[in-house]
Structure 1
Amino acid sequence: MVKATIHKEHYACSVTNGSHEVMVDEPLELGGTHKGFAPKGLLMASLASCVAITLRMYADRKQWPVEKIDVTVTAEIENGENVFVEEIVCIGGLTEDQKQRLEDIAAKCPVSKILSFGSLIKSKVL
């Protein structure tokens, strides 16, 4: 469960899962107060962090020499569709085969699966 709360301040929104809180907002040029990630940026942050965590788990389980993983996500529109582009940099002595395997594993993180296959969203105003 995640709950977002917004008051009259444009467009600062508090988001909580009951244990942690983050601020989500729009940038100044869109009328926001720039107090946190924009919603689309937060979505990209979810993808980037999920990929990084998934790759860290896999590399640790395989005992591969990965010191650091950086995942950069950008969003583009190609042929009318959203495309998330991941640039993954692994610091450590990996072979080309290991890098290819990590590329395959990146697509298996839970957020990647949700974004790839889509989801049904149901809204109900109370």
Structure 2
Amino acid sequence: MSIIANAKVKSLTEQWAGEIHSGHHQLITDKPESFGGQDKGPAPYDFICAGLVSCTMITLRMYAKHKGLELGEFTVEADFNANKEGEEWMDRRVSFVSPLSDALNQKVLDICSKTPVTKTLLRSVAINTTIV
């Protein structure tokens, strides 16, 4: 067993705000004003989307470097969706500044389905909680 990531949040005085520490990085989390927060930072589901898109970008760049491919500048965007029936899903969009061939587009889709965070989200994960 090895820890591959770690984060800690300390509650702030504002109702939903918290200060997140991960390694030597510091971020703020909050809820949007429409949910009673002050929108000082991303909300929890925004961080899930951020994890997916950043992993996708890094994985695509690693693949391109390994294969000697030039993908050029690109963006990855994700939305977390839920409906009244309790279904949840994510939509991910990859957009390249310079168009890719059909074959390379298909390979990009294949690689996207195999990123580590994608695989984790698809299989779910056990969460063990203790009070210390």
TM-score by length of 2: 0.87
Superposition pairs of residues 24-43 of structure 1, within 5 angstroms: 24-43=29-48
5+ residue gaps, structure 1, are none
One-letter code aligned to 1:105: I
- Other structure's SS at 1:45 match: helix
Asked if residue 12 in structure 1 is aligned to residue 17 in structure 2, the reply is yes
After TM superposition, the structure 1 stretch with the greater mean CA deviation from structure 2, 30-39 or 69-78, is 69-78
Q: 5 Å matches for 1:1-126?
A: 1-77=6-82, 80-92=86-98, 94-126=100-132
Q: Give 1:3 deviation, angstroms.
A: 0.6
Structure 2 Cα separation of the partners of residues 111 and 18 of structure 1: 19
Please tell me whether the aligned partners of residues 11 and 19 of structure 2 are also in contact (alpha carbons under 8 angstroms): yes
Asked if the contact 1:15/1:24 (under 8 Å) is kept, the reply is yes
Distance in structure 2 (CA, Å) of the matches to 1:84 and 1:35: 24
Quote how far apart the aligned CAs of 1:93 are: 5.1
Q: What percentage of residue pairs aligned between the two structures are identical?
A: 30
Offset from partner CA, 1:95-120 (integer Å, 9 cap, x none): 21111011110111111111000000
User: Residue type matched to 2:9 in 1?
Assistant: A
**1: CA distance, partners of 2:39 / 2:99:** 39
Runs of 4 or more consecutive aligned structure 1 residues displaced over 6 Å after TM superposition: none
What RMSD over aligned residues (CA atoms) do the two structures have, in Å?
1.6
2:12–2:19: 8 Å Cα contact kept in structure 1? no
Give the count of matched residue pairs. 126
Give the TM-score normalised by the residue count of structure 1: 0.91
**Which is richer in strand?**
1
Aligned-residue offset at 1:52: 1.0
One-letter code aligned to 1:61: H
Helix, strand or coil at the partner of 2:63: helix
